[in-house]
Amino acid sequence: MSKKILCYGEMLWDDFPSGRVPGGAPLNIASNLIQLGLQPMLVSAVGQDAAGEELLNLLRQRQIPETWIQQNRLSTSRVQVDDSQPEEVRYEILFPVAWDRIAWNEALREAAEQADMVIFGSLSLRHPQSLATLRQLLAHTSAQVIFDLNLRPPFLHFPDVEDFLHRAQLLKVNEEELLFLTRYLLGNASASATTETLVAAAAALCQRYQLAGIWLTRGGEGAYWLAPDRAPLAQKAYPVQVKDTVGAGDAFLSGMVAGLAAEKSAAEILDFAARLGAFVASQSGGAPLHDPAAIAALKY
């Protein structure tokens, strides 16, 4: 039986200048995981509006269960996306929206108890209600917990970030996010983006928060799997023509989760995650349909 992966937080429409596409890291990850043969359990909320109904229709089309999607009176989330610089996409995220008000209920308790892994991002910590629901969810699960840090100022509260670092076993960050944690949580104001500094920072975070590992993405510089019990594992980036980087990190995380669920070797897991991330960067939006042949054909 395939693993059940609970994805908690935002689902939304990304409004690009060229048109809108579905997005939000949990939705992107759920879309990837179901295409990889896993069972995503997407926990989010949409409004009682046309935009929310269209997102629900998308879930039905992709066979992502809507069992844990709530509807409330707030608007379905929309994000203004500036992709004029494809490798440095900027976002304007409205607040509050429907997924800020995810409510704890019996269905979520059952989902938490069934999950093999739980994935959440720092955006889901920005409102007291969804924050409280996440705390309840983690209190009712024995699943492996993966924290996907997303730097989206001003939605970052250090005490909450620290709290959930203590609750997680694995942390997914990009280079900017790791440096941010190093400067503000570890007090190293002079931290730079050298490989040596990043590896040392990851080791310090693993020790301080008792993390089993950190997944670090560095764009065109590749990725690292950093764990306290072994040497850093490096992975080259697969070169592609970048359409936009929206969802590339989510795809990388999805590939790592799929590999862990399949109990593949660390090197195989990291290679596939890099392939999937590169493929999504070559497509428009964060939740494209996969092309397995194109993913397999990527070369250095």
Q: Write out pLDDT tens, residues 73-124.
A: 999 999 888 888 877 778 888 999 999 999 999 999 999 999 999 999 999 9
In the block, which residue shows the tokens 């490798």?
87
CB 121 within 8 A of CB 150: yes
Mean pLDDT value across the chain: 94
Share of the chain above pLDDT 70, in %: 99
Residue 173 CA: distances (Å) to CA of 140, 165, 177, 186:
25, 12, 6, 15
55 by Cβ neighbours in 10 Å (0-12 / 13-18 / 19+) ranks as buried
pLDDT of 87: 72
Q: Tens digit of pLDDT for each residue in 7-24?
A: 999 999 999 888 899 999
Of 4, 270, 286, the residue nearest 150 (C-alpha): 286
Mean pLDDT to the nearest integer, 264-290: 96
Of all helices (H) and strands (E), which one includes residue 160?
Answer: helix 158-167
pLDDT score for 90: 81
**CA torsion through residues 34, 112, 71, 12, sign:** negative
Q: Binning pLDDT at 50, 70 and 90, where does residue 51 land?
A: very high
> Please, which pLDDT band fits residue 283 given cuts at 50, 70 and 90?
very high
User: Going along 97-220, which residue ranges are E strands?
Assistant: 117-121, 144-148, 170-174, 213-217
- Condensed to tens digits (0 to 9), the pLDDT of residues 167-220 reads 999 999 999 999 999 888 888 777 778 888 899 999 999 999 999 999 999 999
Write down the pLDDT at residue 88. 75
1 pLDDT tier (thresholds 50, 70, 90): low
The pTM assigned to this predicted structure is 0.96
